[in-house]
Amino acid sequence: MPNRLAQETSPYLRQHADNPVDWHAWTEEALERARRENKPILLSVGYSACHWCHVMAHESFEDPDVAEVMNRLFVNIKVDREERPDLDHIYQLVHQMMTHRPGGWPLTVFLSPDQVPFFAGTYFPKEPRFNLPGFAELCERAANAWQEHQGEITGQRDKIVEALARSQGTEQPTDAGFTAEPIEQALDGLKQSFDARNGGFGAAPKFPHPIELELCLRRHAASGDREALNMVSHTLDRMALGGLFDQLGGGFARYSVDAGWVIPHFEKMLYDNGPLLRLYADAWCLTRSDLYLRVAHETAGWMLREMRSPEGAFYSSLDADSEHEEGKFYVWDRDLIRGLLSAGEYAVAALHYGLDAAPNFEGRHWHLNVARPVEEVAARLGRDPREAASQLASARQKLLAAREHRVHPGRDDKVLTSWNALAIAGLARAGAVFDRPEWIAAARTAFAFLHDHVWEDGILRATWKEGRARHNAYLDDHAFLLAAAIELAQAVFEPDVLAFARTLGDALLERFEDRDAGGFYFTSHDHERLIARMKPFHDAATPSGNGVAAHALLRLSYLTGDARYAQASERTLRAFWNGICEVPGSSASLLMALEESLVPTRTVILRGPRQSVEDWRRKLASVYLPTTLTMGVSNGAAPLPEVLAKPASQQVNAWVCEGVTCLPPLSEFEQLTTLVSKTHENV
């Protein structure tokens, strides 16, 4: 008989609905039961695309004997970390403090009835192995620890809360003036950790880190730093040619298990692909690389083909597993490929994808990486490069069609506001750069969906599925959606998009800002009371909500003329200034806000007939201008904030404003490009 999780909207929680474990979601009912029965809580946090979450579920949570132990000893709470990032943030940090090791998923934490953690870990096997205890044995130990040390555990609450607060960099805000020194220090740190051979930063496992790469691109644009550009281009090249990128279907996996981007952890996350789409589009503006053009088109194609809901929003992720095997959907047997292709196609594909070398996945399968460019393949085979390219394209189509007949990985089909915002921003920016109006239209449709379905009576919700919007939205939801609105307004200006951006900006100030010290809490002022209230500022797999908020609010101030937003941005930078200076490499999103606070954002306002304005906007979009906002405001657009309400005319006029100071209008496009291409100095 299904347990309580059958009533949840989270696909991850529903995956556990038939477990013999007496699972609760994180609800007041569950917490009250723990307090009433004086029973410790077993908190298990995961997500649907997580391979090791599936392993632990199959080994332990589906086992009646293990479930009997869990049900007897604990109130068992299962959390989808994508629905409840507030809980995940707190208890991942607790895990790091307790174990001095990075966390991960599944996250396993034992709590007192009033939420005080007393043991934390990640994956545990059913039987002892990997130097880990068996899970049932661990449960017995944890329950005994609670029975024997209740007073000591509950007495640790204040110390844990204080430690969590210290980790957030919540010391007094600075009164000192801002400088560009942390930006340069961050860039120096990235140069030191750069993998010159493989691209990317650090060693395996290797993550894409789009926010750090974006910072490098911006530094190149500001200062002409060729090394910064080379780090980006080498990394993007290697990722695009390796196994992190799906060479047949497009889109990027979450990370590479090796330093060379050969074998990924096969789950595909929406939150990676939106920012990477934008990054490849921006890098194309500087390099005009055909590879970046192809990767952007195939990534957008994957998002629209496989991740888009019938309503026009975007789903969350694809599993790493299919048929209980990680990567099974993506890897190949060489003889199978040979049987699917003509002799000519196979000869090209085998050399291009390295099928002439030893298997690269588990010693018996091939995961497709580009081993040789098609020009080299053509030379080896003595063929015309155009013929080889045509045969490769035909081979890819046949392999993709054959792969479609396999059992697909599971898809988490809930809609997350924050991740949709990242997808909207990526599609809007790439659509503008590559002149793909259908991508911009998809971004606009998703934005309208969020406005219509997760904005309810002045409150933003974090998730949507099957007609139900749930959970008070978090800082990331508001900040990312505000940034997406500004990006969308640059791709296709509509007054209602900018109006909703103002509404989101107001919500940030009213519901999330720390009114005493500056910066923004991760949860709203009316959120349920947890053991700690986090105010994170370091970037992780996604940018820091505080960094995105500071950057987007500053830009919103220039677009609306409302100084409150710029003042909140400055308060945020002051709140975290000491933390930024201490570890600048972890704060790329805040450093982008810092950059635009030191030299004011440039705004370009195009005014005139719709088609002419659109022509100018389209041409300007393919120029990389990271600190410039472009608003194509056609005649008749209304209502407009005063700063955008320039006189209508029968020809395009362009106003270039540095901060709040605007130059006389320009009527020649060449004059405009000459002016805006000049970089800001002294940043």
- What does the pLDDT look like over 371-418, one tens digit per residue? 999 999 999 999 999 999 999 999 999 999 999 999 999 999 999 999
Tell me, yes or no, whether 682 lies in a domain. no
Q: What is the DSSP string of 558-597?
A: HHH--HHHHHHHHHHHHHHHHHHHHSGGG-HHHHHHHHHH
Which residues form the domain of 158?
Answer: 4-167
Same domain, 224 and 355: no
pTM: 0.97
Tell me, yes or no, whether 269 lies in a domain. yes
Same domain, 74 and 150: yes
Tell me, yes or no, whether 271 lies in a domain. yes
Same domain, 584 and 614: no
Number of domains the chain contains: 4
Same domain, 248 and 292: yes
Nearest to 475 by CA among 501, 500, 498, 509: 509
Same domain, 401 and 463: no
Tell me, yes or no, whether 174 lies in a domain. no
Query: For position 474, what pLDDT does the model report?
Result: 99
**At 190, which CATH number?**
1.50.10.10
Peptide bond preceding 584: is omega within 30 degrees of 0, i.e. cis?
no
Same domain, 224 and 158: no
Q: Which of 366, 388, 405 is the last residue of a domain?
A: 405
Same domain, 399 and 252: no
Distance CA(32)–CA(15), nearest Å, equals 25
Same domain, 21 and 79: yes
Are 417 and 454 a contacting pair, CB within 8 Å?
yes
Determine how many CB atoms are found less than 10 A away from the CB of residue 324. 9
pLDDT < 70 regions, the chain? 1, 169-171, 679-683
Tell me, yes or no, whether 683 lies in a domain. no
Same domain, 447 and 575: yes
Query: For position 679, what pLDDT does the model report?
Result: 57
Query: For position 681, what pLDDT does the model report?
Result: 45
Count of residues making up the chain: 683
Q: Which of 405, 425, 445 is the last residue of a domain?
A: 405
**At 374, which CATH number?**
1.10.10
Query: For position 176, what pLDDT does the model report?
Result: 78
Same domain, 457 and 590: yes
Name the residue with tokens 């990027």. 252
The two three-digit tokens of residue 164, written as one number: 């969590």
Phi, psi of 191, deg, nearest 5? -65, -40
Query: For position 171, what pLDDT does the model report?
Result: 60
Tell me, yes or no, whether 64 lies in a domain. yes
CA 399, chain centre distance (Å):
29
Q: Which of 555, 574, 598 is the last residue of a domain?
A: 598
Tell me, yes or no, whether 509 lies in a domain. yes
DSSP reduced 3-state for 644 = helix
The two three-digit tokens of residue 210, written as one number: 């789009």
Q: Give the DSSP H or E segment for 377.
A: helix 374-381
**At 30, which CATH number?**
3.40.30.10
Tell me, yes or no, whether 622 lies in a domain. yes
Same domain, 20 and 131: yes
User: Cα dist. 158→147, 148, 238 in Å?
Assistant: 20, 20, 47
Strands of the 411-412 sheet, one edge to the other: 268-269, 317-318, 411-412
Nearest to 41 by CA among 125, 153, 134: 153
Same domain, 99 and 133: yes
Query: For position 165, what pLDDT does the model report?
Result: 81
Phi, psi of 587, deg, nearest 5? -130, 40
